[in-house]
Amino acid sequence: MVKLVVAVVQDKDAGRLIEELVDRGYRATKLASTGGFLKEGNTTLLVGAADDQVDEVVGIVKRVCRPREQVVTPLGPAGGAADYVSYPVEVIVGGATIFVLNVERFEHV
């Protein structure tokens, strides 16, 4: 069966990750994406792979992509309450967020 590995990664790791995947014979598609929480650019990779290749693909993603600490200052309520004070908070951005999906049908023409 064919799987689709969807990996949301940081832009900083995307170039090397694609290189490593392609070097090992995998095909990958890179999509520009935006995180819903930070509203910053990230990269989503689509990698089609056979069942028995999924562990290797996920392993490559885990090896290349590093978690990083990021400081964000949440926006106040819309309309701007006068007494609202927002403080910077630290979040750890993965690594990678990985989904493995079953593919019902795959054709390459």
Enumerate residues 8-27 that contact ligand 2BA by CB under 6 A.
8
Q: How far apart are CA 5 and CA 58, in angstroms?
A: 8
How far from the centroid of its chain's Cα atoms is residue 9's Cα? 3
Residue 45 within binding range of ligand 2BA, rule CB under 6 A: no
CB of 25 to ligand 2BA, least distance (A): 26
* 63 backbone dihedrals φ, ψ, rounded to 5°: -75, -35
**Closest to 76 (Cα-Cα) out of 86, 89, 91:** 86
Please report how close the Cβ of residue 14 comes to ligand 2BA at its closest, in angstroms. 13
Chain positions 70 to 109 lying near ligand 2BA, rule: CB under 6 A, are 91-95, 97
Residues interacting with ligand 2BA, by CB under 6 A?
8, 35-38, 42, 91-95, 97
